[in-house]
């Protein structure tokens, strides 16, 4: 038995959490920006435009107001010299369960998967824990924006694009609901030929039925009269923005059969589809281009699924999509057990670069492209006047592990980059100071 | 009838019965004697038969073109060309027929019900050993309930005897060889104790020890040791009965014949690698064994013949179907699967060429044997595999397997050669009794007949034309240019019957006809669609025209062109890459992880696999291979101190809380693609650990990734032995659910005590042996029993075995530190040790290593205090720190894991790289050989296209001992070769495949995916 299924199976148990020390994180949300701030002297990676050496970026009331080598600073501007440093837009993880889980093996901390196959009413924002210890750890590495996505079932619910600092989830939400998430059924043909309809066909039928019913419900709601024959339903209510095309449908699918089936379904339903996963996407790039379907690659640090495939198949997927002209970004795996490691997102992009993706494309794959695919590019994803001042200051390339993220701004608010990790680090450095244990220096 | 065997509970009784059966079998002059009283009249039917005029294949490769066999009372009395036929013998004219020895089915479960998968408990029997899967004392006949139809189905295929094999258990008990007569009773049991059966699989999905392949191997080893001990303990007790008696144990008693090589042993293996594992055990215990194989023995043809291997029993269920309906479906077939479709039929011929005697079990003569023949299997070998070889394997070659005087009259009669296409088995003789398989009264009516049909109002004169024979006869009416086919043909008892269309005969509808055929004349009747009847006659006129040439025969259709691809599965090339006498890598940045530090624009010189020099401007030998590495970086080969790659079966033996006796070394899978993928990340050494299910787990194995070598060749032999321990949530079974709340221990308090208890037991074990060894007079003294679990623990106490302990919380780390102090042993590494930073001073003081994750946390409650600064903090406190992967994926990127020690805690890049080079080498006790680039060490290194700690860099070459195991350019070529080889086989299949829906797919190699649940992994 696969170890994960094994663990999940047995995790359906109670957990005694009385002694659970999971309370609020120590980090205090920053107040709104109340005066103009200019970062000067650094290299500004706008991502969407040119990279500006020795430039200035000015932001007021949470918005970028000017970028350039000569910028007029309004009165009262706090000028911060960042000579030798770099400025980037915040990185964005387009596929996580951040806020919906604390310790994945502890059931009481899991809020990402509602029971049932069809749960469009489940919304990630509702259960997003602003005090999760995972958020300070994530943003401290330059990921100040993350899409929190429910999992499970066939239609999991709706996601929320979150800013990773704030007092309540509502304050933190940047785009909500961001989209509806469909988990395409695994399409492995049954081992033994059977007269029964394979399970995956039944499940695909379920998805189709859901959309048909949602359309009927939406139509009825629109033409509501006194004699309306429908009673209300939370489920179909949640589907209205989907069938009206107001929010996109994120279809999670990896194998070639799943992708083909999902694309043909979405085209028939005339839905705006975004493919999430896309392990085999490079084998069907023409299909994806024809139907204008972008791909959220769910990380590159994966093993090839097939023994015979090249060792770097997942590493080189972004390059292949780039070469074929398919729109893509790189996000997280979206699994509960890897949520705590969301901070490693930039290194997935770097691995893609090590295997052929141009370095600037790798950077865009975790900044501008996720913003565009999620539909938040007018606010975030690049450094441009008018966009949110959600950005990071670093001492190097954020896609390099050894780079330090020195400060993080969300809508102009300077964010505390300490975390449970730095707190414990300091605490135990103090232990050894108290005990006069010398700390050896590196060579 | 079988109940007698049920009551034969002891071996001695069974042996006596066996002897009796053998005696009965060899009695020549009188009919079989029985102790069963007769009811009613005695049935003394004559039992003397003369089988005449037949071609007789007396044994593989030996035949009498035309001869006679005399049978009496079930025994062959005579065989030869000129045999006088006694007057009282019944004569059977087998003109034109061929007689073969009856076939022996060498591995069947005839009459043995499948185990109930829902059964709550393991198989019960009253003589139970402590382990419910040690069923050595059981005899298969206890559960033998054959159905008549199953017996006759075997006979119809030419089998006259079958080995009946028990289904369940590790030690499965005795099989029985039975005659396939009409009813199976005592007289049909040829040998009630034919062989002892051993399997690595329990045959029933039951929890309990063992629940892993390595656990099965450890159990088999311990039980065989116990059987040896039992022999000497019982002997000592008989000499001196005044001491406490060793407990009687029926299983160990039953195994006495096995350890003394007195009864045949048949090991059933389900995978290619398990063949070698069975032979390794046989070598350890000096057993001569037979192996029921997997059908993939050709994987290991280089290991054959093998001194411990007597006979192989080969399955012949060759895959004949590939799901290739669409481009999508072919993606999901591995190259191994495609290759197995092509190669499986070559297995018997390859085994024959290797000189290993083999039996074939359940071959399909129409489909599978022709494929094996095309692949080179000779008819002689095939016949031997079904007759003489199994007879010899089972020690019954004096009574079965060939047609010779004195042997049991087990014969099959075929209409032509047994291996010819379209042959039919006509009769089978079992112990002198004839069983008719095919109706032989059908006539050969092939040819042209002139017929006259006397319809009520008109007579029709027309020609009938028949082809084929017996039941397969086809025919047609030929009238002028018109041909009307005949349907519903039957041909038996000198009667032919058929129907045809009356449309052109003036009677629209179906006309039915029948006739009696005597000496070239048909005299018949018929009926017309309207119910009127008529008579008809026909006379033979001419022999059939030469049969149309059949379409391409099966053999011709098979493309015999072998592929150019020499590997087994993708990217696997057996053997060792070439080792140039000298290699000079020039102009690189060399990260030595040794005293020389990091050298810019430097060279490394390698001679015969060892590092000869590292420095600037080196010159090598005249014929050295020179690699210009300008702009590149070179590091020592990376080392992962926590891996679960290359393991067959589960990495946990979870059946017991203490499993020190199990060994990863026993279950190394040389074909695991994970090793190649890791080489592609610059990795050269992995420490394969048992899982963390038990406080005291199993023994680890340290491998050099010599991809292409066999399991033995992968082992880093210089590495000290080690063992896995584990603490905390996993061993308490905290995350396993409500059904796992009773195994001791359930708390960290209990974890401490079970570990202390076992170490005390190990000390006392040593005392027992010391006491025994010091006794001068050992005669009559029961020796201590060897205990593999305690021996492993004793090795820890004696400093001969390294502990690698899975741990998280500081309290449990401190606990084991204190236990180590109490018992005076060293801990090589705390693994994971995510709260090591809280007790770094303790680790440093004791010089215990720490092998940790770079930055994992929050996947379990006990790791909520894990911080990525852990490695740096411990390092700064003076602890030897390594970063490990615990993941087949992450271990491909250990260089960038090291970079996290720079990011979190400010370790220098050169020191951080040591976290994945020299530090783990020291922890594993292999730093004399590898882990740094120093003169005299193995030339294990990786070449990178940029700084090794950069996320933008990738590995270009990986060398082990001066041999290149990975090269990114070669990899591209191999990718192309893999695709080409897949295409070749797929094309070949499309050309040859006949079956559409049905058929057997080549199975995927059973591979448990050892992914930890917190990894990014979709599967």
Number of domains in chain A: 2
> Could you tell me if residue A220 is inside a domain?
no
Residues A6 and A149 placed together within one structural domain of the fold: yes
Kindly state the tokens that stand for A163.
Answer: 């800013």
> Is B68 within 8 Å of B52 (Cβ atoms)?
yes
Q: Residue B46's pLDDT is what?
A: 78
Q: Using DSSP bridges, classify how beta strands B309-315 and B358-361 pair: parallel, antiparallel or unpaired.
A: parallel
Summarised one tens digit per residue, pLDDT across range A329-363 is 999 999 999 999 999 999 999 999 999 999 999 99
CA within 13 Å, CB half, B370: 14
Structural domain harbouring A373: 1-25+92-187+246-378
Question: From CA B720, how far away is CA B979, in angstroms rounded?
Answer: 41
Q: Please measure the distance between the N-terminal and C-terminal CA atoms of chain A and give it in whole angstroms.
A: 47
Question: From CA A320, how far away is CA A284, in angstroms rounded?
Answer: 11
Residues A4 and A97 placed together within one structural domain of the fold: yes
Residues A269 and A162 placed together within one structural domain of the fold: yes
Mean pLDDT within A312-334: 98
> Is B853 within 8 Å of B886 (Cβ atoms)?
yes
Residues A275 and A399 placed together within one structural domain of the fold: no
CATH number of the CATH domain containing A293: 3.20.20.140
Task: Kindly tell me if the per-residue pLDDT of A244 is higher than 80.
Answer: yes
> Could you tell me if residue A361 is inside a domain?
yes
> Could you tell me if residue A195 is inside a domain?
no
pLDDT averaged over every residue in chain A: 92
Residues A4 and A141 placed together within one structural domain of the fold: yes
Q: Does A442 touch chain B (CB under 8 A)?
A: yes
Q: Does A195 touch chain B (CB under 8 A)?
A: no
Contacts of B860 in chain A (CB under 8 A): 103, 105-106
> Could you tell me if residue A442 is inside a domain?
no
> Could you tell me if residue A213 is inside a domain?
no
Q: What's the alpha-carbon Rg for chain A, to the nearest Å?
A: 23
In A, minimum Cα distance to B897 occurs at A401
- The DSSP code for A140 is T
Question: From CA B330, how far away is CA B340, in angstroms rounded?
Answer: 15
In B, minimum Cα distance to A277 occurs at B1018
Residues A77 and A9 placed together within one structural domain of the fold: no
Residue B976 burial by Cβ neighbours in a 10 Å radius (0-12, 13-18, 19+) = exposed
Contacts of B904 in chain A (CB under 8 A): 421, 425
Question: From CA B707, how far away is CA B727, in angstroms rounded?
Answer: 33
Mean pLDDT within A434-440: 80
Contacts of A303 in chain B (CB under 8 A): 674, 677, 888-889, 1017
CATH number of the CATH domain containing A404: 2.30.40.10
Question: From CA A54, how far away is CA B340, in angstroms rounded?
Answer: 63
E strand residue ranges, B230-307: 265-268, 289-292
The neighbour count for residue A290, using CB atoms within 10 Å, is 11
Q: Residue B445's pLDDT is what?
A: 81
Question: From CA A373, how far away is CA A380, in angstroms rounded?
Answer: 12
Q: At what angle do helices B810-823 and B748-774 cross, to 10 degrees?
A: 20
Residues A35 and A181 placed together within one structural domain of the fold: no
> Could you tell me if residue A357 is inside a domain?
yes
Summarised one tens digit per residue, pLDDT across range B265-317 is 999 999 999 999 999 999 999 999 999 999 999 999 999 999 999 999 999 99
Kindly state the tokens that stand for B218.
Answer: 């450890």
> Could you tell me if residue A308 is inside a domain?
yes
Q: Does A178 touch chain B (CB under 8 A)?
A: no
Across the interface, of B570, B869, B911, the residue whose CB is closest to A443 is B911
Tell me the torsion sign for CA atoms B874, B876, B879, B885: positive
Q: Does A194 touch chain B (CB under 8 A)?
A: no
Contacts of A340 in chain B (CB under 8 A): 856-859, 1014
| Distance from the A321 Cα atom to the nearest Cα atom in chain B, whole angstroms | 19
| Distance from the B613 Cα atom to the nearest Cα atom in chain A, whole angstroms | 23
Whether residues B1009 and A2 touch (CB distance < 8 A) is answered with yes
Task: Kindly tell me if the per-residue pLDDT of A179 is higher than 90.
Answer: yes
Q: Residue B461's pLDDT is what?
A: 87
Question: From CA B963, how far away is CA B940, in angstroms rounded?
Answer: 9
Nearest Cα neighbor of B166 from B137, B205, B187 is B137
> Is B732 within 8 Å of B645 (Cβ atoms)?
no
Which residues in chain A (115-174) have CB-CB distances under 8 A to chain B?
A: 133-134
Whether residues A337 and B570 touch (CB distance < 8 A) is answered with no
Question: From CA A265, how far away is CA A154, in angstroms rounded?
Answer: 14
Whole-number Cα distances in Å, B401 to B262, B406, B409, B412? 21, 12, 10, 12
Question: From CA B564, how far away is CA B977, in angstroms rounded?
Answer: 9
Residues A255 and A157 placed together within one structural domain of the fold: yes
Residues A50 and A65 placed together within one structural domain of the fold: yes
Contacts of B739 in chain A (CB under 8 A): 10
Give the distance from CA A320 to its chain's centroid: 22
Contacts of A255 in chain B (CB under 8 A): 328
Below-50 pLDDT ranges, chain B: 1-13, 16-29, 549-557, 1008-1019
Whole-number Cα distances in Å, B222 to B227, B256, B767, B789, B790? 9, 14, 20, 9, 12
> Is B378 within 8 Å of B64 (Cβ atoms)?
no
Q: Single out the residue in A362, A378, A394 at which a domain terminates.
A: A378
Whether residues B328 and A425 touch (CB distance < 8 A) is answered with no
Question: From CA B974, how far away is CA B569, in angstroms rounded?
Answer: 11
CA within 13 Å, CB half, B523: 2
Nearest Cα neighbor of B140 from B119, B156, B162 is B162
> Is B334 within 8 Å of B340 (Cβ atoms)?
no
Summarised one tens digit per residue, pLDDT across range A19-50 is 334 456 789 999 999 999 999 999 999 999 99
Instruction: Look at phi and psi of residue B203 and say left if phi exceeds 0, alpha if psi is from -120 to 50, else beta.
Output: left
SS3 A15: coil
Instruction: Look at phi and psi of residue A329 and say left if phi exceeds 0, alpha if psi is from -120 to 50, else beta.
Output: beta
The DSSP-derived string for B626-678 is EEE-TT-EEEEPEEEEEE--SBSS-S--TTSSB-TT-BGGGGB-TT-HHHHHH
Residues A392 and A290 placed together within one structural domain of the fold: no
What's the maximum distance between 2 C-alpha atoms anywhere in chain A?
A: 82
Q: Does B749 touch chain A (CB under 8 A)?
A: no
Q: Does B693 touch chain A (CB under 8 A)?
A: no
Question: From CA B550, how far away is CA A232, in angstroms rounded?
Answer: 72
Contacts of A134 in chain B (CB under 8 A): 858
Tell me the torsion sign for CA atoms B396, B397, B401, B402: negative
> Could you tell me if residue A256 is inside a domain?
yes
Residues A73 and A139 placed together within one structural domain of the fold: no
Contacts of B323 in chain A (CB under 8 A): 189
Across the interface, of A335, A350, A404, the residue whose CB is closest to B903 is A404
Task: Kindly tell me if the per-residue pLDDT of A9 is higher than 70.
Answer: no
pLDDT range class, residue A188, cuts 50, 70, 90:
confident
In A, minimum Cα distance to B863 occurs at A103
Which residues in chain A (93-112) have CB-CB distances under 8 A to chain B?
A: 102-106
Structural domains of chain B ordered from first start: 447-542 (2.40.128.20), 634-774+802-937+945-961 (3.20.20.140)
Which residues in chain A (208-227) have CB-CB distances under 8 A to chain B?
A: none
Q: Does B900 touch chain A (CB under 8 A)?
A: yes
Contacts of A3 in chain B (CB under 8 A): 1009-1013
Nearest Cα neighbor of B898 from B888, B885, B883 is B883
Q: Which residues contact B158 (CB under 8 A, 6 or more apart)?
A: B100, B102, B103, B412, B414, B418, B425, B428
Residues A306 and A391 placed together within one structural domain of the fold: no
Q: Residue B198's pLDDT is what?
A: 98
């Amino acid at each position: 038995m696969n170890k994960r299924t094994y663990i999940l199976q047995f995790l359906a148990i109670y957990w005694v959490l009385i002694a659970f020390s999971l309370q609020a994180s120590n980090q205090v949300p920053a107040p709104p920006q109340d005066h103009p701030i200019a970062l000067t002297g650094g290299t500004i990676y706008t991502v969407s435009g040119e990279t500006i050496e020795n430039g200035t970026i000015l932001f007021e009331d949470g918005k970028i107001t000017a970028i350039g080598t000569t910028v007029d600073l309004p009165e009262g501007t706090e000028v911060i010299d960042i000579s030798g440093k770099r400025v980037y837009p915040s990185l964005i993880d387009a596929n996580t369960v951040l806020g919906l889980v604390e310790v994945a093996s502890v059931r009481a901390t899991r809020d990402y998967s509602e029971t049932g196959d069809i749960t469009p009413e489940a919304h990630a924002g509702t259960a997003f824990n602003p005090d999760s210890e995972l958020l300070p750890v994530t943003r401290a590495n330059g990921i100040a924006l993350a899409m929190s996505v429910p999992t499970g079932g066939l239609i999991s619910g709706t996601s929320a694009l979150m800013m990773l600092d704030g007092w309540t989830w509502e304050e933190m939400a940047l785009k909500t609901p961001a989209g509806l998430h469909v988990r395409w059924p695994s399409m492995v043909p049954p081992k033994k030929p059977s007269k029964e309809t394979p399970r995956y066909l039944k499940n695909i039928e379920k998805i189709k039925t859901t959309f048909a019913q949602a359309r009927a419900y939406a139509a009825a709601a629109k033409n509501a009269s006194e004699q309306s024959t429908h009673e209300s339903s939370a489920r179909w209510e949640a589907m209205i923005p989907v069938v009206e095309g107001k929010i996109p449908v994120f279809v999670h699918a990896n194998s070639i059969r799943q992708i083909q089936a999902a694309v043909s379904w979405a085209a028939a339903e005339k839905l705006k589809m975004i493919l999430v996963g896309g392990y085999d996407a490079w084998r069907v790039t023409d299909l994806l281009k024809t139907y204008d379907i972008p791909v959220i690659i769910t990380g590159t640090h994966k093993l090839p699924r097939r023994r015979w495939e090249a060792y770097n198949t997942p590493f080189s997927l972004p390059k292949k999509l780039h070469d074929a002209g398919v729109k893509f970004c790189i996000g997280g795996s979206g699994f509960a057990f890897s949520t705590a490691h969301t901070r490693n997102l930039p290194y997935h992009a770097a691995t893609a670069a090590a295997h052929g993706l141009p370095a600037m494309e790798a950077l865009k794959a975790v900044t501008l492209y996720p913003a565009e695919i999620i539909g938040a590019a007018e606010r975030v994803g690049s450094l441009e006047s008018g966009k949110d001042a959600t950005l990071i200051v670093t001492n190097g390339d954020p896609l390099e592990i050894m780079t330090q993220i020195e400060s993080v701004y969300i809508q102009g608010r300077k964010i505390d980059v300490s975390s449970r990790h730095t707190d414990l680090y300091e605490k135990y450095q103090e232990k050894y100071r108290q005990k006069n244990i010398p700390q050896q220096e590196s060579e | 009838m079988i109940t007698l065997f049920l009551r034969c509970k002891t071996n001695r009784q069974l042996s006596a019965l066996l002897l009796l059966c053998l005696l009965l079998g060899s009695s020549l002059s009188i009919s079989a004697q029985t102790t069963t009283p007769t009811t009613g009249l005695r049935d003394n039917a004559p039992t003397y038969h003369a089988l005449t005029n037949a071609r007789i294949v007396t044994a593989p490769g030996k035949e009498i073109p035309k001869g006679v066999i005399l049978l009496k009372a079930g025994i062959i009395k005579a065989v030869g060309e000129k045999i006088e036929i006694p007057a009282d013998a019944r004569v059977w004219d087998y003109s034109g027929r061929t007689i073969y020895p009856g076939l022996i089915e060498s591995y069947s479960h005839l009459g043995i019900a499948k185990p109930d998968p829902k059964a709550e408990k393991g198989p019960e029997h009253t003589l139970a050993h402590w382990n419910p899967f040690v069923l050595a004392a059981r005899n298969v006949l206890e559960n033998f309930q054959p159905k008549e139809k199953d017996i006759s189905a075997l006979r119809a295929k030419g089998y006259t005897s079958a080995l009946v094999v028990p289904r369940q258990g590790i030690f499965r008990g005795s099989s029985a060889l039975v005659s396939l007569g009409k009813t199976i009773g005592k007289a049909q049991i040829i040998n009630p104790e034919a062989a002892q059966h051993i399997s690595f699989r329990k045959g029933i999905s039951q929890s309990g020890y063992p629940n892993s392949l390595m656990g099965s191997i450890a159990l088999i080893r311990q039980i065989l040791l116990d059987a040896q001990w039992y022999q000497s303990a019982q002997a000592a007790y008989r000499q001196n009965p005044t001491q406490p008696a060793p407990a009687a144990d029926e299983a160990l008693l039953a195994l006495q014949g096995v350890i003394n090589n007195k009864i045949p042993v048949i090991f059933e293996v389900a995978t290619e690698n398990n063949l070698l594992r069975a032979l390794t055990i046989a070598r350890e215990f000096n057993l001569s064994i037979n192996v029921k194989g997997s059908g993939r023995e050709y994987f290991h043809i280089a290991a054959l013949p093998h001194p411990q291997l007597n006979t192989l029993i080969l399955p012949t269920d060759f895959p004949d179907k590939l799901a290739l309906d669409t481009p999508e479906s072919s993606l999901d077939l591995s190259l191994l699967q495609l290759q197995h479709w092509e190669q499986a039929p070559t297995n018997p011929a390859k085994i024959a060429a290797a000189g290993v005697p083999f039996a074939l079990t359940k071959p399909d003569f129409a489909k599978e044997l022709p494929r094996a023949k095309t692949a080179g299997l000779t008819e002689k070998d095939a016949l031997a595999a079904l007759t003489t070889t199994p007879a010899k394997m089972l020690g019954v070659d004096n009574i079965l397997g060939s047609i010779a005087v004195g042997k049991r009259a087990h014969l099959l009669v075929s209409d032509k050669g047994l291996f010819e296409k379209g042959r039919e088995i006509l009769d089978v003789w079992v112990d002198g009794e004839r069983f008719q398989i095919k109706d032989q009264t059908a006539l050969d009516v092939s040819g042209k007949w002139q017929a006259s049909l006397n319809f009520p109002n008109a007579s029709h004169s027309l020609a009938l034309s028949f082809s084929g024979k017996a039941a397969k006869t086809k025919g047609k009416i030929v009238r002028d240019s018109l041909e009307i086919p005949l349907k519903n043909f039957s041909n038996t008892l000198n009667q032919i019957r058929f129907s045809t269309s009356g449309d052109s005969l003036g009677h629209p509808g179906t006309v039915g006809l029948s006739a009696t055929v005597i000496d070239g004349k048909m005299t018949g009747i018929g009926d017309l669609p309207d119910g009127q009847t008529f008579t008809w006659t026909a006379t033979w006129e001419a022999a059939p025209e030469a049969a149309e040439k059949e379409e391409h025969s099966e053999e011709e259709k098979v493309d015999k062109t072998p592929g150019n691809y020499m590997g087994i599965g993708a990217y696997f090339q057996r053997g060792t890459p070439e080792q140039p006498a000298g290699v000079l890598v020039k102009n690189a940045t060399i990260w030595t992880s040794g005293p020389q530090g990091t050298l810019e624009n430097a060279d490394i010189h390698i001679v015969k696999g060892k590092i000869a020099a590292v420095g600037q401007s080196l010159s090598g030998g005249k014929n050295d291979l020179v690699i210009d590495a300008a702009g590149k970086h070179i590091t020592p080969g990376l080392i992962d101190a926590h891996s679960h790659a290359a393991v067959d079966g589960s990495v946990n033996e979870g059946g017991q809380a203490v499993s020190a006796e199990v060994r990863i070394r026993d279950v190394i899978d040389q074909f695991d693609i994970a090793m190649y993928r890791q080489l592609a990340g610059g990795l050269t050494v992995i420490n394969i650990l048992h899982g963390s299910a038990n406080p005291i787990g199993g023994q680890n194995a340290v491998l050099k990734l010599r991809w292409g070598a066999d399991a033995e060749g992968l082992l880093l032999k210089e590495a000290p032995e080690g063992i896995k321990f584990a603490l905390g949530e996993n061993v308490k079974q905290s995350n396993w659910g409500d059904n796992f709340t009773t195994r001791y221990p359930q708390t960290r308090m209990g974890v401490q005590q079970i570990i202390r208890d076992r170490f005390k037991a190990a000390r006392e074990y040593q005392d027992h042996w010391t006491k025994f060894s010091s006794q001068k007079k050992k005669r009559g003294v029961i020796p201590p029993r060897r205990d593999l679990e305690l021996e492993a623990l004793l090795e820890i106490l004696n400093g001969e075995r390294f502990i690698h302990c899975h741990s998280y919380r500081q309290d449990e780390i401190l606990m084991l530190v204190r236990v180590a102090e109490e018992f005076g042993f060293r801990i090589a590494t705390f693994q994971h040790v995510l709260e090591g930073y809280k007790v770094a001073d303790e680790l440093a003081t004791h010089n215990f290593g720490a092998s940790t994750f770079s930055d994992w946390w929050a996947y379990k409650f006990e790791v909520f205090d894990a911080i990525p600064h852990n490695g740096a903090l411990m390092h700064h406190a003076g602890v030897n720190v390594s970063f490990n992967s615990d993941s087949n994926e992450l271990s491909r990127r250990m260089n960038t894991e090291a970079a996290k020690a720079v990011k979190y805690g400010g370790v220098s890049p050169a020191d951080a790289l040591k976290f994945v080079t020299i530090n783990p080498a020291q922890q594993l006790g292999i730093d004399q050989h590898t882990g740094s680039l120093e003169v005299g060490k193995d030339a294990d290194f990786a070449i990178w296209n940029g700084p090794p700690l950069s996320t933008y860099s990738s590995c270009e070459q990986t060398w082990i001992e001066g041999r290149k195991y990975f090269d990114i350019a070669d990899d591209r070529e191999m990718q192309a070769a893999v695709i080409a080889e897949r295409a070749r086989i797929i094309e070949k299949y499309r050309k040859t495949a006949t079956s559409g829906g049905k058929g057997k797919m080549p199975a995927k190699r059973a591979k448990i995916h050892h992914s930890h649940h917190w990894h990014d992994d979709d599967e």
